[in-house]
Structure 1
């Protein structure tokens, strides 16, 4: 893709007459005006204040009212679960003890008109750090995997000398507090801060973006991920559930069901584009989507001996296998609402199906189409 400004700058360098240079410079100025207009259109009126709070104060604002969900400093629903490993938590504590700076924590003053929320502040970015500090001061965190000060391994907060505890509590944490900030802006900020993060998975970013509040996400993706039969036939580890893998599976089901023939090579882009296009859904559309999902899961429960797992002893479900089976079932049901399962064992454990659902199948459009249609056709007896 050649950007217009790049091409015009190139032409300006090659222009051999003053008249041509004047013409090109005029076009460049027109583009600059359009860019400035676009910037002003999207510029956010967000006020912010930089401040410092002691660790003791941050934890106190988070802890008081935590159990009744009316704590002053709270984690909003678009944030991820507490998923930091013990290693990451321990390294944060060690960094603070030795005086290393940590990234700013972004919070936002909530002005919603709801008396239960007004005056409270939500954590826009930094929830893992805040929850780590809370766990440590609450003696729920035992330090481990530390290499710089290995003598700290095995320590809880209460094991530190009283003087060190006081000093730790007085450590300052840098805070950016946003005000006059809409929920859409807060979600956008969360997404932009975390887009490049290795720790944050794609579904967690989607959850925190504008899509996390869309009718399709709230009324279809989240509802289907909470379906009891789905949880039974698609077992996922606790870690994967915290990372939003159940939401990832349900999104993939609908994206491939409705658009698998258009898949290119990037699963992330494919899902993001689909989620963007499908954000708005009517009540009838929502009901129809949930119906096909539930019928698909029920079919799998009744006819596949291990659900979507490979074997009885498998602890989790491969994405590619789930996509092939779930979407293939749904497509077959769309052609035959009274679909019956005949001779499933003949192909479910075959080398052909194994080849279609292993390796780099998820990044190849021909294989995506082949594996889904293989299941559909086997179920329809084609």
Structure 2
């Protein structure tokens, strides 16, 4: 906390960028997000500790993220040439049928994970964080709480700070499968979402591109629908236009869309009508949600989206958990050791 006149100002420092501030340090702040009182990320951010700058990076690694900004950072990428996993990523051809749940909001992450593990607690789940929202994985308090339940975090594109760093979403997905050994992966942007109220002007449109990447790599893309009867904005009621656009118009290779049963007749009817216009390449699955509401109620992190919690946004979190359950049921069975059974005498 920093003194602001007679009060205090919350400020956040990322040690990988600016070092670790100490009591008494003078710091240079960016107050843009704080001044706008943003719901996500509405903090002042430490740009530098001028009297005690961090040491220059010496490696290992030479992937530069947040490139060509004053705070660019060098990390070690899983796919760069001198790392232990380079050959694995270079030789990996596909995801071996791994189910991948894609959502446009970071807030869906815990509910999807709960849906997977409530269905099969033995599955290994990796989170692949894209760069549509926050770039720093450490900004997400959700990730800190979920870490014991995850096989690991992969940060891709300009995002950084995960257990594994990758240049692209494609190599990030391959790393989730072949380096972290995940049975299921979850893809969302980091905390924060930029939207302009226009058909294409929202960062979640990248969810459709993520589905295309999963398809190209031989995985199973599964869409976690953004559903609400609490959002005051008409474009987000029922199935949000974000889901309808990203999955219906951008995911050209197709994606399985999972809707939860038990929404009630009015909302359920609206969701069914909204999804009726999806292209044939996007099958719609209505998923049983028995036990999921109880599991959501035991979430290790507060469930909140757009400032609304559970059960206010029950449909949203139930849809995410249903997508996780469906993914858990799609995990390919391991191949039988020794080939097909033969009859002996």
Tell me which interval the TM-score lies in, with the shorter structure as reference length.
under 0.3
TM-score normalized with structure 2 length: 0.24
Higher relative contact order (CA 8 A, sep 6+): 2
The structure carrying a bigger helix percent of its residues is 1
The structure carrying a bigger strand percent of its residues is 2
TM-score normalized with structure 1 length: 0.23
Structure with greater Cα Rg: 1
